[in-house]
Amino acid sequence: MTEKVLNILRRQSKRICCVSDGELLEKIPPSSIEFLLEQIQEIGSIRKNIVVFDYQLKPEKSKFFIKKGFSPVIVPSDKDVYLAIECLDIVNSQQTDILCLGVIEENQLPVVISAREKIDVLLISQTKEDAKNYMPFIDYLVTIEDLLKKQ
């Protein structure tokens, strides 16, 4: 087999489930969302891709996320609790190799520490500085700052 075919097979073997804070993804220009997804898919195949909001989306924004392959979820109260529960559910399902978590603050650190005991963790953060406390517990890091520089 060629190297290209082997790389495709390696990527497809890792199952990734993504859960992101909607506030983080809204900071990314629409043209960069595709690039973000490409960065994630270099590691494996995305099986689940949820973006969580704590407010009602405008219909065009909701359609945009759906078109890009995200499942928008609107929670009526604490978005951070929903993110934590969803992440732990993914980790305990044993059907995921990598948890991809998009965060703005450090409030998901206990979830990342717990997840790292069972599976690999890919963190999406605004900057490396924002992710500094997560660094000992993650396997991969994608920053919005680096993403915008590469485009």
**% residues pLDDT > 90 (the chain):** 57
Q: Rounded mean pLDDT of the chain?
A: 88
Which SS3 state, helix, strand or coil, does residue 54 take? Answer: coil
The pLDDT value recorded for residue 55 is 86
The answer, yes or no, to whether residue 50 has pLDDT greater than 70, is yes
Res. 94 pLDDT band, cuts 50 70 90: confident
Number of domains into which the chain is organized = 1
The pLDDT value recorded for residue 124 is 94
pLDDT in tens, 58-84: 889 889 999 999 999 999 888 889 999
CA dist 78 and 138 (Å) reads 24
pLDDT in tens, 129-138: 999 999 999 9
Residue 74, φ and ψ in degrees, nearest 5:
-110, 120
Domain at 74, CATH number: 3.40.50.1010
pLDDT in tens, 4-35: 655 555 555 799 999 999 999 988 888 888 88
Range of the domain at 33: 3-150
Which SS3 state, helix, strand or coil, does residue 143 take? Answer: strand
The tokens describing 11, both together, are: 């990527």
The pLDDT value recorded for residue 4 is 60
The pLDDT value recorded for residue 11 is 53
The pLDDT value recorded for residue 2 is 60
Residue 51, φ and ψ in degrees, nearest 5:
-120, 130
Which range among 6-10, 86-90, 93-97, 103-107 shows the weakest confidence by mean pLDDT?
A: 6-10
Stretch 28-43: mean pLDDT: 88
Residues 6+ apart with CB under 8 A from 16: 40, 43, 44, 45, 46, 47, 96, 97, 98, 99, 100, 122
